Structure 1
Amino acid sequence: MKIAVMGAGAVGCYYGGMLARAGHEVVLIGRARHVDAVRRRGLVLDTLSFKEHVAMAASTDARDIAGASLVLFCVKSTDTETGAAQMAPHLADDALVLSLQNGVDNTERLRASLKQEVGAAVVYVATEMAGPGHVQHHGRGELVIGPSARSDELVAMFGQAGVPVQVSDNVAGTLWAKLILNCAYNAMSAITQIPYGALVQGQGVWDVMRDAANECLAVARAEGVTVPGDPWAAVERIAATMPTQFSSTAQDLARGKPSEIDHLNGFVVRKGQALGVPTPVNRVLHTLVKLLEGKLTPTAPAPESGS
């Protein structure tokens, strides 16, 4: 199967690399420095259990998506419409576009822009770009997807590539569960430039994170979304399972790049306003990150990641 990765950062390179290693024809669509490195030596796929150079195609041009049966859509939430417009003229009519993005509304936004089938995937992986064409995997890697005519095929394909995939009837709730994790950690890690394990050792940090998570839950309930499991237990587990991980928001700010904060805490604030649900903690976190974004002065970069 030909598979394209649109937005080949840390998340896209990890999953694209695992699929290419399993024998699929994969093309990465990404930035020139990563594309050049992959063309020269293959993708360096550096995981907890192996390190390999994986040969695959790479391009800076969305036209090379042509002929792909599956597109892993991994661009930043801020670029969803732009990325969709770039690839729309080149997508096969029967292609499946799978959104592997932060936030809860990207699938709806893609469906408004594309005629092809669009599905959501909830991503749980700790990765970074350790250099051009070099993806470093720090842990986890599972996906949660919604049921579809192709879900069994995706479970089998990813499973053969070493990527666990769960099919959920409540993928919307699972997206909100991931959003809660992002809203609890991303801004705090970005503001402090501290990884998760050290972050939660700070005085009062758990209380702020719990308040942010509870606001998210209140907004989800007002929206009619059932968030599965124990969201707070999931928040607590992240610090234990990804102690050295910097949030993607922290990494963006360290590089002087705009973040996805408008689609994380900012989304919760906007949705809360629309539903009449107060979100003061998320408002403060969103506001502080936006102030730091206004500086856009690169510092010593934290590892790049898509989580």
Structure 2
Amino acid sequence: MKFAVMGAGAVGCFYGGMLARAEHEVTLIGRQNHVAAIRRDGLRLESLAFDEFIEVTACTDASGVAGADAVLLCVKSPDTEAAVAAMTPYLSQSAVIVTLQNGVDNAERVRSLVEREVLAAVVYVGSEMRGTGHVRHNGRGELIVEPGRSSERLARVLNDAGVPTSVSANVRGALWEKLVLNCAYNAISALVQLPFGELCQRGGTAVSTAMRDIVAECIAVAGADGVNISSDVDETVARIMATIPAGQYSSTAHDVATRRPSEIDHLNGHIVGRGAALGIATPVNHLLMMMVRVLDNQRADSALAMRTD
């Protein structure tokens, strides 16, 4: 198959790299510094099992999706509409768009903008960009894809490429479970700038207690919204703490560290918004959302000051 990865950061480079390693035709669409390194040396994909430079096409322009059978949409949730608008003139009529993003509503947003098959996918991977054109895989890598015309074929291709992939009718529930994981960990990791293992070591039982409060609010909102996920808070917290690789920083922590806008409005902010609509109090999620927003606004104000000086 021919794949394009729109938004080739840590997630997109991992999955695109695995597909290219399995000799599929892949185009990575990303930032100029990464594209330049990949064009020069190939994509460096580092994992526990191998460390290789993989030959793959890379570009900075949305025209890179032209001719692709499948587009893996890996941009940040706030950039979904802009990315789809940029891709649309170049998409083939038969292309399927697979949303590999944080948040729970990206597939619906894409469907409202383009007449193509759109599949929501839940991503469980610990990966990070360790340098220009260099992605490191820290653990996991599973995908859960919703049913559709192309789902079974995609699952076969991805499984054959070494990416454990399943098709599930309850992707909405799985997306919410991933949202709960992100809400429980991302903002805290961003605020203290520590990887998961060190966060737990330094914070002790306070970390699991805080996660319990966050998760309890998320589960209450999910239940009121008719989402099919576990209602056992303690079990969910234990699963989260067993799931996250010890050395993994959250994507929100990377956003804060690199002074990029975060996805907080689509994570804890989504819980706050749905909670308000459904009459569910979410004070802990609200506090985390507010604190990360303050950091986002500080970066925006700093950037504006630099442009006007």
Indicate the TM-score class for this superposition, using the shorter chain for normalisation: over 0.9
TM-score (norm 1): 0.93
Q: Name the stretch that deviates more: 169-178 or 187-196.
A: 187-196
Contact preservation (8 Å) 2:219, 2:231: no
Counterparts in 2 of 1:136-175, with a 5 A limit? 136-175=136-175
Aligned to 1:214: 216
Structure 2 residue 281 is matched with structure 1 residue 278: yes
Structure having the higher helix fraction is 2
TM-superposed CA distance for 1:278, in Å, is 0.7
Aligned to 1:197: 197
Write out per-residue CA displacement over residues 11-37 of structure 1, whole angstroms, 9 at most, x where no aligned residue.
Answer: 000000000110100000110011111
Write out per-residue CA displacement over residues 74-124 of structure 1, whole angstroms, 9 at most, x where no aligned residue.
Answer: 000010000010001111111100000000011111111111111111000
TM-superposed CA distance for 1:229, in Å, is 8.5
Over the aligned positions, Cα root-mean-square deviation in angstroms equals: 1.5
d(CA) in 2 for partners of 1:84, 1:288? 30
Counterparts in 2 of 1:288-303, with a 5 A limit? 288-296=291-299
Structure 1 116/42 Cα, relative in aligned 2: closer, same or farther at 3 Å?
same
- Higher RCO (CA-CA < 8 Å; seq separation 6+): 1
Residue of 232, 250, 259 corresponding to 2:262: 259
Write out per-residue CA displacement over residues 237-271 of structure 1, whole angstroms, 9 at most, x where no aligned residue.
Answer: 44445111111111110111110001000111011
Aligned to 1:248: 251
Instruction: Give % identity.
Output: 56
TM-superposed CA distance for 1:234, in Å, is 4.7
Listed as ranges, the gaps of 5+ residues in structure 2 are 301-309
Q: Name the stretch that deviates more: 230-239 or 150-159.
A: 230-239
Q: Which amino acid aligns with 1:293?
A: D
TM-superposed CA distance for 1:168, in Å, is 1.0
Aligned to 1:45: 45
TM-score (norm 2): 0.93
The SS at the match of 2:141 is strand
The SS at the match of 2:102 is coil
TM-superposed CA distance for 1:233, in Å, is 3.5
Structure 1 262/109 Cα, relative in aligned 2: closer, same or farther at 3 Å?
same
Counterparts in 2 of 1:103-122, with a 5 A limit? 103-122=103-122
Q: Which amino acid aligns with 1:34?
A: H
The SS at the match of 2:136 is strand
Aligned length: 297
Contact preservation (8 Å) 2:212, 2:233: no
The SS at the match of 1:14 is helix
